[in-house]
Structure 1
Amino acid sequence: MKNKGLKIVTIGGGSSYTPEIIEGFINRYKELPVRELWLVDIEEGRHKLETVGGLAKRMVKKAGLDCEVILTMDRKKALKGADFVTTQFRVGLLAARIRDEKIPLKYGCIGQETTGAGGFAKAQRTIPVILDICKDMEELCPDAWLINFTNPSGIITEAVLKHTNIKCIGLCNVPILMQMAAAKALDVSKDEVFVHFVGLNHLVWGRNIYYNGKDVTAKVVDALIDDLEYGVKNIPDNEWLKEQLKDLNMLPCPYHRYFYHTDEMLDEEKKAAETEGTRGEVVKKVEEELFELYENPNLNIKPKQLELRGGQYYSDAACSLINAIYNDQRIVMPVNTRNNGAITDLPNDVVIETSCLITKHGAMPLNVGMVEAKIRGLLQVVKAYEELTIKAAITGDYNTAVQALIMNPLVTSSKVAKKILDDIIKENIEYLPQFKTYYKENLKN
């Protein structure tokens, strides 16, 4: 690998995030010699791939790198002999995301693309596709690492690790934003702060925060109570309950608002859906503006406006992770990987999001042990939901699917779960091969 340079494949290459991953590889080129970067997409995404691919080529040319950017719809051709594969695709495109947000809202439940019933729907569409990609990888690049930031990242990563032979690590930008918030609270740089992250993707806590050899968790939590600006683009920024944070004495992630402030978040979503639109509808407009920028033949850098898209730092984290594996850097990063006993309250074979030592062998989670009761219950319930969600996606068993939704804390009742599931299947059937028999026999008419 080190002699010939690297072949990296990005599936979902027409994503608006692609300029960030290109910038990440450019910035690390001396230590991460990418010779071939293949951007792969599907026919429906051809225009976006050609647009963002043109920008990628201009960025590489401006940097003066010996790196070829190749655009293709032929996934198998791209994967042959790859060293690393990154995944950033959205099955059903933004139209499916908007459905994921609207269906639960119809029944008085949180409508969000990665958590709750919306996240379930996205997982059902995505798992068959990621397993198909992994089947190709097992044939064409069996030694390659799969770096996944297709959401829901933890669920997708667990499906890969449980049902394929591919080496896979999942990524999320939320821990990066949390570390930045902790650093802001302490008025120091991000790299001076160490956060021990514990939990699941979009349900992760900063359990211990260290600066200058001292545990400063309480100080960061106090700053959050005192109205530290803290959130992500796609989540309304309402206030945390001070008494709860004091007792928690951990840094919650922005997605905890859906579980801790469910009523308020639901009200926010309903109001938004009736005015500016769901987050997916807003993102659609932002993407249209971004691609207008990308089409400018004189643009040869990542535009600042990409930060408005939300999800920034995903791609840069992927570059850092690839660099750490390739160069055996032995650094600590928060990633999604197999538990392997790190959190003793969860099964060994499930995927968790936690701080890990990154070596050429992959991610080795730092020991956590048992977690406190104040986070254990929610952690275990959401993990059980995730396990059932993966089982439903693999088997296409309707009863398992409805059980998964009932298990999810953001779905209000079993009858509501069934109504949501039926709508998900009816409105996504072209992307749900596992449920086609059930659909024909029970829902088609």
Structure 2
Amino acid sequence: MTLAVVGGGSTYTPELIDGFARLRDVLPLAELVLIDPATDRLELIGRLARRIFAKQGHPGRVTWTDDLDAGVDGADAVLLQLRVGGQAARHQDETWPLECGCVGQETTGAGGLAKALRTVPVVLDIAERVRRRSPDAWIVDFTNPVGIVTRALLSHGHKAVGLCNVAIGFQRKFANLLGVGPEAVTLEHVGLNHLTWERAVRVGGEDVLPKLLAEHGDAIADDLRMPRSLLDRLGVVPSYYLRYFYQHDEVVRELRSKPSRAAEVAAIERQLLDTYGDPALDEKPELLGRRGGAFYSEAAVALTSSLLGDTGDVQIVNALNNGTLPFLPDDAVIEVPATVGAGGAVPLPVRPVEPLFAGLMANVTAYEHLALEAALAGGRGGGRRNGRNAGAEGGRSAAREGGRSAVFTALLAHPLIGQTDAADRLTDELIAHNREHLTWA
């Protein structure tokens, strides 16, 4: 089979390559195509990928190209791992919201909305080109914000499943604490992307979460950077992204006191690129572990293999709700265990969700709906039609007004913002820092 990776020039790609090489019996690749407009980085990483495949005895061919249409032509699956605007845009996402007293983060809050506005139109264009060149190909989305991006793909009729490494990370950590293999651990994982809770941890059918919290609660809480008392009171293990909600003001103070994560990652990337240039390097370097995205390669291999092999096994993915959580609309994208096969991902039944969690999920789902509307604002015909009927300048003005209104509404709906003054100021800042990516601005 042929697998294409859009964003193949990412410094993170060798993590994927390592997984493809090690798990070649699970996902037998005849060809891996890396696609990226950054040709210098692409060749560097492509050559490293070939060396990793050769060292591990993988018979597949590794190629690379900056031509998207040629790269996805004939692909059985396409993985999306792109970052529109690069680390520079991420740095902006993580800094200007702090000036307004709000969390600066690349997947939630105002920064997350900015990333969605930049990303959704690009991803939809890529998906349309995949549909033209390889209509049967599955799209596996690892591009953040995964929930909003996956919802955009599914709402436009694309064959897509969203993927995140939070669940597999918890599975591996819990297995290590329990002294069992990862395959022995199953999670009752429920929520939205980056807004999830582990409500049960089962080994051999038994829920061992109470034991985990009793014996390892301090270690789990330290890893999440949340109070142990909070975990005991909730009786669940929240995703570390819940810290932005449960400890918002404390996180804002912390983020204001140190360089952005984007700055840290950019420094790591510079070191990685120097390392990748070593012709003797034929494995992923240890430094890559500090880049983030642990275990993504294993999750990506498992999901792609199940979609293409029609295995019908259970994996935790991002898929359409379709009544699974009755308090959310059917077209919401949720992150839960699902049966995965040739027809896509079908969520398993979920026992009733506690109001504390369901309420926040419903709030964020409403925000994600409005965020997607804002991201699609530039693709609507309203402004252009007005331009033809009332003059070009009038059309542009209407488009700007409509776009700004959509951004403001999404920010006002977000539970981390929710105040008129803050939403107004954040709207202006978001537009100012992302004008080149907003067709209506």
Identify whether the pair has TM-score above 0.5, normalized to the shorter chain: yes
The residue that corresponds to 1:213 in the other structure is: 205
Instruction: State the SS of the aligned residue for 1:26.
Output: helix
Equivalent residues in 2 for 1:204-353, closer than 5 Å: 204-223=196-215, 225-228=217-220, 231=223, 237-240=224-227, 242=229, 244-272=230-258, 277-353=259-335
The residue that corresponds to 1:439 in the other structure is: none
The residue that corresponds to 2:31 in the other structure is: 36
The residue that corresponds to 2:165 in the other structure is: 173
CA distance in 1, matches of 2:238, 2:220: 13
Alignment check: 8 A CA contact 1:248 1:374 kept: no
Tell me by how many angstroms 1:246 deviates. 2.8
The residue that corresponds to 1:417 in the other structure is: 423
The number of equivalent residue pairs is 417
2:84 matches 1:91: yes
Give unpaired runs (5+ residues) of structure 2: 379-402
Instruction: State the SS of the aligned residue for 1:61.
Output: helix
The residue that corresponds to 1:107 in the other structure is: 100
Alignment check: 8 A CA contact 1:17 1:315 kept: no
Instruction: State the SS of the aligned residue for 2:173.
Output: helix
Alignment check: 8 A CA contact 2:22 2:56 kept: no
The residue that corresponds to 1:440 in the other structure is: none
Q: What letter matches 2:235 in structure 1?
A: N
2:9 matches 1:9: no
Which of 327, 352, 359 is the equivalent residue of 1:370?
A: 352
CA distance in 1, matches of 2:433, 2:305: 40
Alignment check: 8 A CA contact 1:185 1:228 kept: no
2:137 matches 1:150: no
Q: What letter matches 2:301 in structure 1?
A: C
**Higher deviation after alignment, 328-337 or 62-71:** 62-71
The residue that corresponds to 1:3 in the other structure is: none
Cα 1:189/1:32, change in 2 over 3 Å: closer
TM-score (norm 2): 0.91
Instruction: State the SS of the aligned residue for 1:415.
Output: helix
Q: What letter matches 2:370 in structure 1?
A: L
TM-score (norm 1): 0.90
CA distance in 1, matches of 2:216, 2:315: 23
Percent identity for Structure 1 against Structure 2? 41
Cα 1:230/1:291, change in 2 over 3 Å: farther
Instruction: State the SS of the aligned residue for 1:133.
Output: helix
The residue that corresponds to 1:193 in the other structure is: 185
Instruction: State the SS of the aligned residue for 1:416.
Output: helix
CA distance in 1, matches of 2:137, 2:435: 32
Tell me by how many angstroms 1:293 deviates. 0.9
The residue that corresponds to 1:124 in the other structure is: 117
CA distance in 1, matches of 2:418, 2:177: 36
Tell me by how many angstroms 1:13 deviates. 0.4
CA distance in 1, matches of 2:222, 2:4: 34
Q: What letter matches 1:104 in structure 2?
A: P
2:365 matches 1:383: yes
Alignment check: 8 A CA contact 2:76 2:137 kept: yes
Q: What letter matches 1:270 in structure 2?
A: R
Which of 401, 407, 413 is the equivalent residue of 1:407?
A: 413
2:45 matches 1:52: yes
